[in-house]
Structure 1
Amino acid sequence: MKFQVLGPVEIETPGGAQVSPRALKVRSLLAYLCAHHDETVSSGRLIEALWSGTPPQTASTALHVYVSKLRKHLQGLGLDGTSLITTQPPGYRLRLLECDLDVYEFDRLLAKGREFRELGDLVKASESLDRAISLWRGQALEDLRGIPAFESLGRRLDERRSFAREQRFELELELGNHKALVGEIYSLLDDRSTWENIYGYLMVALYRSGRTTEALATYSRVRRNLVEDHGIEPAPRLQRLQHAILTHDPSLDDFGADRLARVTVA
């Protein structure tokens, strides 16, 4: 059985069936415990999240009811609900036991990517990050983003995917896979009109693919977005990258991820 929050909240059976609780409060409870799978979550935090800061007087009793319903739902799937959702003062804790959790798998693959990178195996490092990113099925907690606590939590999880993507782009550029990156990065830009780092990676990928004009147009695009939306100029690191492209700085042809980080990220 697999719990999933990197997208709409789901429980997936080994056969691929989606069997997540339908009731909003029960599904929200499951999602919050999954997102904090490595800790005991207090009843107070759960009440705050489930009722968006305006709980009824009966919230404590209602929370116990929702925990009971979630355990029963899990038992209906052939799982030991009481062992999975344990009562640990001052609240509750999700214990994975023999179940999988996509957030846990994501973190594990990120750690493997770091290990491979430290060992100098950039190919395996990039592959690990790619597998981690592929676990996402949309925005984290996508079906609960209308609830304030889950919008905030979902954004924090989404930032971790953005970090993984940036790390992978650096590795792919260092491996010389700049041509393959161009289309991939272009597909991300519409929803990230002011994400300067990703524009920097695209500028380098385009330049190294012999598309200097497009690389400079990319800078103009992000500059226009930043000026029109926020009244600010691009960060100095992006301005330096534009200058390097304009002057055909030789270092742009073959520098690795560590130097790219200093130019476009640091």
Structure 2
Amino acid sequence: MFASPSWRRGLPGGIVKFQVLGPVEIETEDGTQVSPRALKLRSLLAYLCAHHGEAVSSGRLIEALWSGAPPQTASTALHVYVSKLRKHLQSLDLDAAALITTQPPGYKLRLIGCDLDVYEFDRLLGTAREFRRNGDREKASKTFEQAISLWRGQALEDLRSIPAFESLGRRLDERRSFAHEQRFELELELGNHKALVGEIYALLDDRSTWENLYAYLMVALYRSGRTAEALATYSRVRRNLVEDHGIEPAPRLQRLQHAILTHAPSLDDCGADQLVGVNAA
């Protein structure tokens, strides 16, 4: 189902929603999944969605769809796939020819009569950063949270076995990580450290070496009066880094551990961005 009325703001129609922040899907307004079954069609749609508003060259599409080993007939095959994708979209009462236009040197996806989750995600990120620049931390945090809620798993989750989509998916995932970090900083600044602890623990299950995440957890635990757990958190990330990668934690994390050991006043007085060493938005 659609996340909120703001989903359609600035977009004409809102008939279907394209989704790439998770498995690639097309969803109708009543929640019905109408994604093309063929892998090449889903891959083509996903690549155009991830580069919406940009004319993507046929060469780039061929490289992505055939992983650098295209058949001699790739150009013709790509044209056929575009035609099939347009027919699929036309069956959803979309103006497929206007939605996917032929534009040298290739094709361009335009948001006409449809919604796109990554478009909405980027719009919300921009709004959240503007709130933060204006000093409205509460609205900024809530808007970052709204942006994060659009995700349904790893970006392009069902295409990650394809090299081009693994790389593209990782880049999209980094944008979600940025949103998480910005929100954690804001929540700590708002004094909501106790509520953050469980949320951060849940994220660490899949991100055992995300150092900034451990840093936010250490600060949240310390400010919640759980100093021993904060120090144990440092030991955990150090063990993960040494065992998995043969490296020590970053200097900023080591400084944070020392600050906790010495009960440095800065742990209570400084903003989280200063403690963790991440620049504010």
**Fold-level similarity (TM above 0.5):** yes
Any residues of structure 2 matched to 1:114-129 within 5 Å, and which? 114-129=129-144
Q: Is the 8 A contact 1:182 1:205 kept in 2?
A: yes
Moved more, 249-258 or 75-84: 249-258
1:7 counterpart residue number = 22
Query: Could you tell me how far 1:6 is from its partner in structure 2?
Result: 0.1
* Inter-partner Cα distance in structure 2 for 1:60 and 1:191: 39
Query: Could you tell me how far 1:192 is from its partner in structure 2?
Result: 1.2
TM-score, scaled to structure 1: 0.97
Work out which of the residue numbers 216, 220, 224 in structure 2 matches 1:205: 220
Give a deviation string over 1:118-149, Cα, whole Å, max 9, x none. Answer: 11100000011000000000000001111111
Work out which of the residue numbers 18, 23, 33 in structure 2 matches 1:18: 33
Are residues 1:191 and 2:214 paired? no
Any residues of structure 2 matched to 1:23-34 within 5 Å, and which? 23-34=38-49
1:170 counterpart residue number = 185
Work out which of the residue numbers 211, 218, 234 in structure 2 matches 1:219: 234
* SS of alignment partner, residue 12 of structure 1: strand
* Structure 2 spans left out of the alignment, 5+ residues: 1-15
Query: Could you tell me how far 1:252 is from its partner in structure 2?
Result: 1.0
* Inter-partner Cα distance in structure 1 for 2:226 and 2:242: 25
2:98 counterpart residue number = 83
* Inter-partner Cα distance in structure 2 for 1:103 and 1:165: 16
Identity %: 85
Any residues of structure 2 matched to 1:139-154 within 5 Å, and which? 139-154=154-169
* SS of alignment partner, residue 168 of structure 1: helix
Letter in 2 for 1:18: Q
Any residues of structure 2 matched to 1:14-163 within 5 Å, and which? 14-163=29-178
Letter in 1 for 2:264: D
Give the direction of change, closer, same or farther, for the CA distance of 1:202–1:214 in structure 2 (3 Å limit): same
Query: Could you tell me how far 1:98 is from its partner in structure 2?
Result: 2.6
Q: Is the 8 A contact 1:2 1:100 kept in 2?
A: yes
Query: Could you tell me how far 1:258 is from its partner in structure 2?
Result: 3.9
Letter in 1 for 2:141: S
* Inter-partner Cα distance in structure 1 for 2:55 and 2:279: 36
Query: Could you tell me how far 1:255 is from its partner in structure 2?
Result: 2.4
1:244 counterpart residue number = 259
Structure showing the higher helix proportion among its residues = 1
* Inter-partner Cα distance in structure 2 for 1:217 and 1:190: 16
Q: What is the aligned-residue RMSD (CA, Å)?
A: 1.2
